[in-house]
Amino acid sequence: MIMFFYLALGLTGATALIAIYVVAGTTLKKSKTRPVRFNRQRREVCYFLEKSDTPITRPWEETIAWLSAGTGTTGVGVLKTFTLGIAIEDKANGIAYYLNDTVPSPFHGLGQWEAIRSYMENGVEHCPAKAVHEGRHTFEKERAGMQEEVDAGERSLIGKYWWVLTHIVSWWKIPYWIAEWDHKYSMKAMPESITEWSTPLPAEHWSKPSLELKEQSLKIQKAFSNGQDFMSYFKANVSM
C-alpha cells in the first residue's frame, strides 16, 4: 500500500512537472509573438513573421480561411483534430503566410472566424464581448458561490465535499495561479512602423467592400434567414 502511494505520488508529480513545462513554454512563445491585427477602416490585415519587425499588410478580401479535420491514432483509440487555418497572401512575391489554430470542434473554429468576419464587416458592436481572464479571484468566487448554495440548501454537504475533493485532486489554486501568471505576459507589442497604419481614419476615407463581397453577403444572409446554416450553405462536411 505504501509503495502504491509513493508510485501514485510520483506519477502525479511527474504529470504536474510536464504540465508546468508545457504551460511555461506556451506562455514564453506567446510573449515573443505579435498578434495578427485586422484594420476594418483600411480593410487590411497586418502580420509579422517570427523575429521580424517588418509588417506584412494585405487586403482583407484576399485573406483565405478554412476549417480542416484530421484523424490519427494514439495506440489506444482514434483521435480526431480540427484546425482553423488562415492564409495571408503576398501575391506580388508569390508567397502565402499560414496561421493554424487547433480548435476543439468545427463549431469553435467557425465561431472564431465568424468573430473576425463580424468585426471586419459590421464593427465591434457585433463581436462577442471580451472574455474575463481567470485567476485566483475566479477560484474564490467559485468557492463563495458553492458555500452560498450550501447555506441556501441548494447543495448538499456531500456536494460540498465533492467540490473540495475534485479541486484538491486538481491542485487546488495552482491552475488558477498559472492562469493569472500567464495573463500577465501579453503578446509582443507592435513596433512604431505600424503606428500610422493603426491610426483611425476619417469616415469618408474608409475603404469600401467590393461589389462581389456585397453580393455574396446578401446571398448568405438570405440563406440564413431561410433556415440554412453555414455548413449546409457551403455544402461542407466536417464531421465530428
Residue 103 domain boundaries: 40-128
Q: Is residue 25 part of a domain?
A: no
Q: Is residue 122 part of a domain?
A: yes
pLDDT for 5: 37
Domain boundary residue, one of 93, 110, 128? 128
Looking at the structure of the chain, the number of domains it has is 2
Q: Is residue 139 part of a domain?
A: no
pLDDT for 133: 80
pLDDT for 4: 40
Q: Is residue 21 part of a domain?
A: no
Q: Could you give the CA distance from residue 53 to residue 192 in angstroms, rounded to a whole number?
A: 9
pLDDT for 15: 63
Q: Is residue 232 part of a domain?
A: yes
Domain boundary residue, one of 92, 107, 128? 128
Q: Is residue 92 part of a domain?
A: yes
Q: Could you give the CA distance from residue 167 to residue 175 in angstroms, rounded to a whole number?
A: 10
Q: Is residue 49 part of a domain?
A: yes
Per-residue pLDDT of the chain (240 residues; tens, 9 = 90+): 444 433 444 445 566 666 666 767 777 777 777 888 899 999 999 988 877 888 888 899 888 888 888 887 766 677 788 899 999 887 777 888 888 888 888 888 888 888 898 899 888 887 777 777 888 889 999 999 999 998 998 989 898 999 999 888 888 888 888 888 777 777 777 888 888 888 999 999 999 988 988 898 888 888 888 888 777 777 766 655
Q: Is residue 199 part of a domain?
A: no
Domain boundary residue, one of 113, 128, 143? 128
